[in-house]
């Protein structure tokens, strides 16, 4: 997969993309990420990328020309002509990012992400250039850079071969749609706090049961919304009913 990212702050991407899982994916040739500085696609002396909003109001708007020229330039240099490459704008008005969207995007061979800045972008960018708009949640950030990193991280993890031996684990925890059970590692006792006895019992059936129970309990307490779409078997549904009654 090839991911192109258009931004006014290319330096922001240095840290996260040199981290372990990501780096390994790049080294193995599973993914390539190219960061492009939008300012390089301006023609005026001051490299202007923003301007005042027609109709007035505070806050600047990202200009239309540099973005069109940048996207067209990347497309002509890097993508096969017959390919419909998704051009995704990170914006607070986008559809809410999810694991499902990450999985969908991981099927693509090319992705082009545009990081918004200022109060927003000239709407013609949304009308005529962008094919999809994504938000990562209902909180105010300073721009689309961190969201682009979040989306890239989630998507790259889903590319076959990136996680290697951890892949099956990922499948397991996502299959159910429940929150994870509590986990512990050595020491067995720390400051008098013991690891639950069942985990030391060596009884795999009991352990599996306990974990499932904990998962359901946690999900019921913290994220009851997840239970709507969780895939539960008969035992799990019965357990959930019992927990709901004793609540």
Distance from C-alpha of 157 to C-alpha of 35, rounded to nearest angstrom: 19
Q: At its nearest, how many Å lie between ligand 9D3 and the CB of residue 155?
A: 15
Distance from C-alpha of 42 to C-alpha of 62, rounded to nearest angstrom: 12
Site string for ligand 9D3, 92-111 (x = CB under 6 A): x-------------------
Active site residues: 92, 119, 157, 172
Q: At its nearest, how many Å lie between ligand 9D3 and the CB of residue 209?
A: 39
Q: How many CB atoms lie within 10 A of CB 32?
A: 13
Residue 60 binding ligand 9D3, by CB under 6 A: no
Give the footprint of ligand 9D3 on residues 133-172 (CB under 6 A). Answer: 135-137, 139-144, 147
Nearer of residues 9 and 68 to ligand 9D3, judged by Cβ: 9
Distance from C-alpha of 82 to C-alpha of 67, rounded to nearest angstrom: 21
Q: At its nearest, how many Å lie between ligand 9D3 and the CB of residue 152?
A: 13
Nearer of residues 71 and 88 to ligand 9D3, judged by Cβ: 88
Task: Provide the pairing of β-strand 50-51 with 61-62.
Answer: antiparallel
Residue 90 binding ligand 9D3, by CB under 6 A: yes
Nearer of residues 53 and 209 to ligand 9D3, judged by Cβ: 53
Residue 12 binding ligand 9D3, by CB under 6 A: no
Quote the tokens at residue 213: 């129970």
Residue of the chain from 51, 119, 123, 180 that contacts ligand 9D3 (CB under 6 A): 119
Nearer of residues 7 and 135 to ligand 9D3, judged by Cβ: 135
Residue 66 binding ligand 9D3, by CB under 6 A: no
Residue 116 binding ligand 9D3, by CB under 6 A: yes
How does DSSP assign 18-61, residue by residue? GSHHHHHHHHTTS-EEEEEEGGGG--STT---EEPPTT--SS-E
Quote the tokens at residue 176: 């159910």
Residue 88: closest CA among 5, 31, 2, 1: 5
Query: What secondary structure, in 3-state letters, does 98-137 show?
Result: CHHHHHHHCCCCEEEEEECCCCEECHHHHHHCCCEEEECC
- By CB under 6 A, the count of residues binding ligand 9D3 is 16
Q: At its nearest, how many Å lie between ligand 9D3 and the CB of residue 99?
A: 16
- 161-174 burial string, b = 16+ CB within 10 Å, else e? ebbeeeeeeeeeee
Nearer of residues 152 and 219 to ligand 9D3, judged by Cβ: 152
Are the beta carbons of 39 and 47 closer than 8 angstroms?
yes
Residues interacting with ligand 9D3, by CB under 6 A?
90-92, 116, 119-120, 135-137, 139-144, 147
């Amino acid at each position: 997969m090839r991911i192109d990212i258009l931004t006014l702050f290319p330096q922001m991407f240095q840290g996260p993309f040199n981290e372990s899982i990501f780096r390994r994916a790049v080294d193995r040739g599973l993914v390539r990420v190219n960061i492009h500085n939008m300012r390089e696609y301006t023609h005026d002396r001051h490299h202007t990328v923003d301007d005042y909003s027609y109709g007035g109001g505070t806050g600047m708007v990202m200009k239309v020309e540099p973005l069109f020229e940048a996207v067209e330039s990347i497309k002509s240099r890097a993508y096969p002509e017959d390919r419909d490459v998704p051009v995704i704008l990170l914006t607070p008005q986008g559809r809410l990012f999810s694991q499902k969207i990450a999985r969908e995007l991981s099927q693509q061979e090319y992705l082009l992400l545009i990081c918004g800045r200022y109060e927003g972008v000239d709407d013609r960018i949304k009308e005529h250039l962008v094919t999809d708009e994504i938000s990562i949640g209902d909180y105010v950030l300073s721009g689309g850079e961190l969201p682009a990193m979040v989306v890239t991280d989630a998507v790259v993890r889903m590319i076959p071969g990136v996680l290697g031996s951890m892949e099956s684990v990922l499948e397991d925890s996502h299959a159910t749609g429940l929150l994870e059970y509590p986990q512990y590692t050595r020491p067995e006792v720390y400051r008098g706090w013991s690891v639950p006895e069942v985990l030391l019992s060596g009884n795999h059936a009991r352990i599996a049961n306990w974990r499932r129970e904990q998962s359901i309990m946690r999900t019921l307490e913290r994220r009851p919304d997840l239970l709507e779409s969780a895939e539960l078997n008969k035992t799990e549904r019965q357990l959930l009913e019992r927990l709901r009654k004793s609540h």
